[in-house]
Amino acid sequence: MVRQSHRGLAMTSYFPSHGDLRYGVAHYELALKYRVSTNWLDGTARLSVLAHEPLDGLDLDFGQFRVVGVTVGGLSARYTHRDGKLRVSLPSTLLAGDTATVEVRYTGSPRPVRSPWGGLGWEELSDGALVAGQPIGAPSWFPCNDRPDDKASYRITVTTASPYQVVANGVLAGKSRSAGTTTWVYEQAEPMASYLASVQVGRYQFTDVGRTRLAHPSRLGTRARHDFGRQDQMMALFTDRFGPYPFATCTVVVADDDLDIPVEAQGMAIFGRNHVDGRRGHERLVAHELAHQWFGNSLTVAAWNDIWLQEGFATYAEWLWSEASGGQTADELAARWRRRLEVLPQDFVLADPGPAVMFDDRVYKRGALTLHALRRTLGDQAFFWHLRDWTTAHRHGNVSTDAFIAHMRRHTALPVGPLLSSWLYDKQLP
């Protein structure tokens, strides 16, 4: 899939084997039974599909499970399942605009999706499980149209042994216990990209810290309450800078395992026990993950080449929190990172860095520097007004670099077009 962007730059899908442009999914209903001791998952996924063009079949991204059966509109459907694709033959042709319910029943041991960054998706912990889906890990646990621009509502039901707690996206809509197991039902009403769907299973204690719900191992309760104790202040700052918090819930999970980096999910962030030291030693990561609720989860990139719109903004939120909480100012942090980037290779275009470097720290920091340059050009009042207007205009939608540039140029007579063009499309630092 190739599209044209600013200055005629051709952009190719970073993950061409993922996603099917011929249809969209409006709603996922996932019913899962998970056995922690054997890492075994029995699932039923119901997808409400909308055809964008005439369809005789559709492709779903799906991992290494045994498919028990597939129905479309209640009728049995033929299918093949290999190489990460579940190809479903429709009993009758869907015309553009037609809808259908596709149900897939499956069973097996969830395995992460292979990627240049290691295994992605469902991950077995020492005593539980987590999901780290960005960018292509969703097929590790449910069949999906794995594109960031195909957002849907979700209902996620998980049944597991009663000693374990389950956290998933959205609002806890129900909880029931029967014969040694507990069933948890979560409703995610706001549209969500498949890579942001998440399930966390562990022996957790729940603690409310302001409007944030913490799920953590009981022995880490004191540390967790302290380390996330200023999240309400972060929420107030980011609400002032970015606009209203976009979701009904705000949840933080502290897994009882070490994690390389925190994990982003919609309405949720997942940290490892190594990120909780009782001294707020990783508070910049707390700010980063909270900012993703605006930039990444509510405003989701339409294509992965525009990842700076998520990671650059979340990195800049770290700088905003630093200056608001008595640390280094954004000016000081920008100057420091500018010096560091100057001595590193300048061999990528920020608006299309390529899959090999899309998660490189240079992308994150150059994205933040782009925003700081824009802030210094516009002034604080106009800059933050623009950001609030940006998040309002695209709330729960998809965004692109072209749209961001157009948004900024539309509302000011200052020469922001050339400034953004140099930061986003020139390899050399401006």
Indicate whether 4 pLDDT > 80.
no
CATH number of 300-425: 1.10.390.10
- With bands split at pLDDT 50, 70 and 90, how would you rate the model's confidence at 356? very high
pLDDT in tens, 68-78: 999 999 999 99
Give the tens place of pLDDT for each residue, 83-108. Answer: 999 999 999 999 999 999 999 999 99
Query: Integer distance in angstroms from the first to the last C-alpha of the chain?
Result: 31
Q: Is the pLDDT of residue 296 over 60?
A: yes
Distance, in Å, from the CA atom of 74 to the CA atom of 395, rounded to the nearest integer, reads: 35
Q: Binning pLDDT at 50, 70 and 90, where does residue 23 land?
A: very high
Do 21-195 and 204-293 agree at the fold level? no
Q: What digits encode the pLDDT tens for the residues 231-272?
A: 999 999 999 999 999 999 999 999 999 999 999 999 999 999
Coil, helix or strand at residue 325 = coil
Q: Cβ(12)–Cβ(51) under 8 Å? A: no
Fold classification of 21-195 (topology level) = Immunoglobulin-like (2.60.40)
Contacts for 296 with CB less than 8 Å, ≥ 6 apart: 196, 264, 310, 311, 313, 314
> For 175-275, where are the alpha helices, taking DSSP H only?
221-227, 231-242
Conformational region of residue 7, where left means phi above 0, alpha means psi within -120 to 50, and beta covers everything else: left
Q: What is the pTM of this model?
A: 0.95
- Measured between alpha carbons, how far is residue 107 from residues 35, 82, 158, 307 in Å? 11, 15, 14, 34
Q: Where are the domains of the chain?
A: 21-195, 204-293, 300-425
Query: What local confidence, expressed as pLDDT, does residue 5 receive?
Result: 44
Chain segment 121-172, per-residue pLDDT in tens: 999 999 999 999 999 999 999 999 999 999 999 999 999 999 999 999 999 9
pLDDT band of 11, cuts 50, 70, 90: very low
Is the confidence at residue 411, as pLDDT, over 90?
no
Q: Of all helices (H) and strands (E), which one includes residue 374?
A: helix 361-378
**What tens digit of pLDDT does each residue of 24-65 get?**
999 999 999 999 999 999 999 999 999 999 999 999 999 999
How is residue 64 written in tokens?
């290494």
Return the pLDDT at 10: 41
The CATH class, in words, for 204-293 is: alpha beta
32: which 2 tokens? 């899962």
Is the CB of residue 383 less than 8 Å from the CB of residue 396? no
